[in-house]
Amino acid sequence: MAKVKISPRPFSYPEGGASLHCGGVSLESLARRYGTPLYVYSADRIVERLRMFQRALAGRDHLVCYAVKANSALAILKLLAQEGAGFDIVSGGELERVLAAAPDAAGRVVFSGVGKTAAEIDLALKAGIMEFHAESEAELNLLAARARKLRVRARFALRVNPDVFAETHPYISTGLREHKFGIDIRSAVEIYRRAAGNRWLEAHGVSVHIGSQIRSALPFGAAIERVSKLVRQLQRAGIVIHTIDAGGGLGIDYHAGPFDAAARAAEYAAAIENALGGFAGRLLIEPGRFVVAQAGALLARVLYVKRNGRKTFVIVDAAMNDLIRPALYQAWHEIAPVRPRPGKTRMVDVVGPVCESGDFFARDRALGPVEPGDLVALLDAGAYGMAQSSNYNTRLRPAEVLVEGKRARLIRRRETMADLLAPEML
Ligand code: LLP
């Protein structure tokens, strides 16, 4: 029987049970009710992960600003807001989502991103967000001009580039000087100084984000050490900094096996704490993946099993348009048969129906026997899954379900052809 090891995920084969559940809810029943492909998330697990950070940082003034880009479902934003989270956004669209899900949370929003437009800046100024993370002096100038126009002061933090190397996939590493992100930390003091002369700008914080899926705490500590040094330099120059934002990026273990999430969160918090060097202001962090990835799975149904030469292909009804991480980052997602069958495991490729060879979820993966009609769960898909989905091949995006204890509720219905065709003209 090929049951995949699934701890620390909320998915399990209940004691004596033959099929995979999310909390108290059977995935088979969800597939019957809502169809496949289907994203399934555990609300309890999401809250648990948020609280791990909150607990690890309880000794100091802090705010966990969940990175909306990881999973921007309104119901998830609302859930996190109710638990006291703030939000890290990177577009006007993400701000609209936060405002729709949790209107009271506007004052807990930080706005990151290298290319903010005037319209996005206006929206955020009017909403009264906590701070803008400016990534260039030109952006700061635009921010000042928009603030002046709206007669409000704009609180900002410079996102500095600390030139710290973090071991991760090159597409999601951001903290080196050669990356497009942030402002060279060596020129930051000068920029803060020039901004101090502008009455429409208020230096509020310093922010940093070195990359994503970083599993060691060390680079976070190294980056914060450099930021703390900058904050002390600014202090000497008479510029008071209220917040240090350490960014997001704490990684999870996508491979099966023991992974102590609470210990990792604690180790991460300690590394940052130690590097803050007596900073008395508020610490912000922007985790995305760590909060939602393991809470979610993409449920798919096997359509065909076919052999081509030496290879066996398991063709499922989900595809790269639903979950692009394997195609884009060579990412690994565990694949768990929902009702494991007895028999030998074999090496297979698990692929989707999209017309690209890159449309795969796993290559040469040992999988227990599966037959057409069986369900499989692609694990750890709660972050950057639905958020990066598309309609490629004119495929309708999946529905999403949130499991709360023993109850499951639809939080996004499956798209229809009418949804897809609505913006087009003949
Ligand atoms: N803050 C900023 C400024 C960011 O750019 C990001 C992610 C985060 C926070 C959240 O990082 P996290 O805690 O989720 O690692 N699509 C890729 C990940 C891209 C991350 C982009 N920035 C993936 O699927 O692996």
Residue tagged 């309890």 (tokens): 44
Asked if 146 and 265 sit in the same domain, the reply is yes
* Ligand 1 atom with least separation from CA of 287: 13
Residue 392 in any domain: the answer is: yes
Residue nearest (by alpha carbon) to ligand 1 atom 9: 248
pLDDT, average across residues 259-267: 93
Asked if 151 and 280 sit in the same domain, the reply is yes
Rounded to the nearest whole angstrom, what is the distance from the C-alpha of residue 268 to the centroid of ligand 1?
16
Is the separation of the CB atoms in 381 and 38 below 8 Å? no
Is the separation of the CB atoms in 234 and 158 below 8 Å? no
Residue 75 in any domain: the answer is: no
Residue 403: predicted pLDDT: 98
Instruction: Read off the CATH number of the domain in which 128 is found.
Output: 3.20.20.10
Distance between CA atoms of 92 and 132, rounded to whole angstroms?
A: 12
In tens, the pLDDT along 34-56 reads: 999 999 999 999 999 999 999 99
Rounded to the nearest whole angstrom, what is the distance from the C-alpha of residue 345 to the centroid of ligand 1?
35
Asked if 278 and 138 sit in the same domain, the reply is yes
Rounded to the nearest whole angstrom, what is the distance from the C-alpha of residue 182 to the centroid of ligand 1?
14
* Ligand 1 atom with least separation from CA of 214: 15
Distance between CA atoms of 227 and 133, rounded to whole angstroms?
A: 14
Residue nearest (by alpha carbon) to ligand 1 atom 22: 212
Distance between CA atoms of 421 and 426, rounded to whole angstroms?
A: 10
Which residue out of 63, 76, 289 has the highest number of ligand 1 atoms within 8 Å of its CB and is therefore the one to mutate?
A: 289
Asked if 168 and 214 sit in the same domain, the reply is yes
Distance between CA atoms of 45 and 48, rounded to whole angstroms?
A: 5
Asked if 259 and 369 sit in the same domain, the reply is no
Rounded to the nearest whole angstrom, what is the distance from the C-alpha of residue 257 to the centroid of ligand 1?
23
Instruction: Read off the CATH number of the domain in which 304 is found.
Output: 2.40.37.10
- The binding-site residues of ligand 1, defined as CB within 6 angstroms of any ligand atom, are 67, 70, 88, 112, 172, 209, 212-213, 247-250, 286-290, 325, 329, 383-384, 388
Distance between CA atoms of 265 and 43, rounded to whole angstroms?
A: 19
Total domain count for the chain? 2
Q: What confidence category does residue 150 fall into, taking pLDDT thresholds of 50, 70 and 90?
A: very high
Residue 366 in any domain: the answer is: yes
* Ligand 1 atom with least separation from CA of 249: 15
Asked if 23 and 143 sit in the same domain, the reply is no
Which residue out of 65, 131, 209, 212 has the highest number of ligand 1 atoms within 8 Å of its CB and is therefore the one to mutate?
A: 212
Domain stops at, among 255, 272, 287? 287
Rounded to the nearest whole angstrom, what is the distance from the C-alpha of residue 344 to the centroid of ligand 1?
38
Rounded to the nearest whole angstrom, what is the distance from the C-alpha of residue 347 to the centroid of ligand 1?
32
Asked if 281 and 343 sit in the same domain, the reply is no
Residue 50 in any domain: the answer is: no
Residue 379 in any domain: the answer is: yes
Residue 150 in any domain: the answer is: yes
Q: What confidence category does residue 4 fall into, taking pLDDT thresholds of 50, 70 and 90?
A: low
Residue 256: predicted pLDDT: 73
Residue 193 in any domain: the answer is: yes
Is the separation of the CB atoms in 367 and 340 below 8 Å? no
Domain interval for residue 241: 112-287
Asked if 168 and 191 sit in the same domain, the reply is yes
- The catalytically annotated residue of 355, 417, 422, 426 is 355
Domain stops at, among 287, 305, 325? 287
Rounded to the nearest whole angstrom, what is the distance from the C-alpha of residue 87 to the centroid of ligand 1?
13
Domain stops at, among 287, 306, 331? 287
Q: Has residue 293 got a pLDDT over 50? A: yes
Asked if 283 and 306 sit in the same domain, the reply is no
Q: Is 22 a catalytic residue?
A: no
* Ligand 1 atom with least separation from CA of 207: 3
* Ligand 1 atom with least separation from CA of 90: 3
Q: Locate all alpha helices (DSSP H) within 83-130, ordered by sequence.
A: 92-101, 118-127
The structure tokens listed for 331 are 């990412």
In tens, the pLDDT along 392-402 reads: 999 999 999 99
Is the separation of the CB atoms in 209 and 159 below 8 Å? yes
- CB count within 10 Å of CB 138 equals 9
Query: Higher model confidence: residue 419 or residue 357?
Result: 419
Asked if 310 and 179 sit in the same domain, the reply is no
Closest CA to 293 of 330, 251, 262, 322: 251
Q: Has residue 16 got a pLDDT over 80? A: no
Query: Higher model confidence: residue 172 or residue 51?
Result: 51
Q: Has residue 179 got a pLDDT over 80? A: no
Residue nearest (by alpha carbon) to ligand 1 atom 8: 248
pLDDT, average across residues 58-78: 98
